[in-house]
Amino acid sequence: MAFCIRRREFIAGLGGAAAWPLAAKAQQRERTRRIGWLSTSSADPGPYPDRLTAFKRGLADLGWIEGSNLVFDERWANDDPARLRPQAAELVARRPDVIFVASSAALAAMRRATGIIPIVFSVVADPVGQGFVSSLAQPGGNITGFAGNEFVLRTKLLELLKKIAPGVARVAFVFDPAHPAATGILAEIAAAAPSLGLEVVRTPVRNAEEIERSINALAHEPNNGLLVAAGAATALHRKLIADLAARHRLPAVYSDRYFVASGGLASYASDALDLCRRAASYTDRILKGEKPANLPVQLPTKFQLVLNLKTAKAMDLVLSPEVHALADEIIE
């Protein structure tokens, strides 16, 4: 009888031993995961907090709930590019499972900080041209994601500007020189401008004073227009740029919707919030064991032409029926 009891205990023990790896795997799946976030902006309401919110909603749809099985380490540079590098180092020290970024500047800082921790990006223009990935199909390394506007898309903004204001002959390309994509964008629009009868003037701005000085100077010459690129300085002072352009009746087009929501005239861009929501799918796959190097970079599938009719009216600018028909969203 004692032998039978011991035999049963032994077999039960074997069963427990066999079940242990399964229990351990289940526990591993259920452990709380850590996501890092680095942004050039502040956490105040605006385009970058909206991008993070869209990403979190995408994760929630996939079962990753902040405060339950997911925690976020957020770092906000408060529109100071000098803060990006130390904050990137802080995030790496926290050893997150994945890092998410939604701008070229933040991605550049994270790329310098780690070549190991998986990084998922969104709304980054031409990631191959900027050297973030080897190719779209095979990104290699620890970085992948969802590309934003390609450099060539900015030429569409030149076309839009000519449709809005056919008399424009000279375009000031207003950009933040600290933005990693600025040089590539400038090269594309400078190459396309002559075919549209346009001259492009390089207009770097770093702060409100430079913005006021540059736009006020442009107002003294006829047939000028603006093409405003996204960047830390232009995003921070987007309302100032829009107000100055309207005050001087300078037709202006912008590379992101948030400029138009702040009073700008028109924008044409990929849907940034859609890209951030889609980035959650790659984060989910990486958290489940896939490698960033094996996840091809995705291109935008949704683009939006946004018009601000209130601004057009304030400028006494009559938009053609063609421009109205092309608009995906009209702000009145």
Helix axes 154-164, 182-192, angle to 10 degrees: 50
pLDDT of residue 1: 45
pLDDT in tens, 68-123: 999 999 999 998 889 999 999 999 999 999 999 999 999 999 999 999 999 999 99
Task: Give the pLDDT confidence score for residue 246 in this predicted structure.
Answer: 95
Give 238-274 pLDDT, tens digit per residue.
Answer: 999 999 999 999 999 999 999 999 999 999 999 999 9
Give the DSSP letter string of 72-136.
Answer: EEEEE-TT-GGGHHHHHHHHHHT--SEEEE-SHHHHHHHHHH-SSS-EEEEEES-TTTTTSSS-S
Same topology for domains 32-148+271-302 and 151-270+304-331, yes or no?
Answer: yes
Report d(CA 228, CA 234) in Å as an integer.
8
Domain spanning 32-148+271-302: which superfamily?
Response regulator (3.40.50.2300)
pLDDT for position 152? 63
From the CB of residue 247, how many other CB atoms can be counted at a distance below 10 Å?
Answer: 13
Residues of the chain whose pLDDT is less than 50?
1-29
Supply the pLDDT for residue 30: 65
Alpha-carbon span 304 to 120, nearest angstrom? 23
Domain ranges of the chain: 32-148+271-302, 151-270+304-331
Would you state the CATH architecture of domain 151-270+304-331? 3-Layer(aba) Sandwich (3.40)
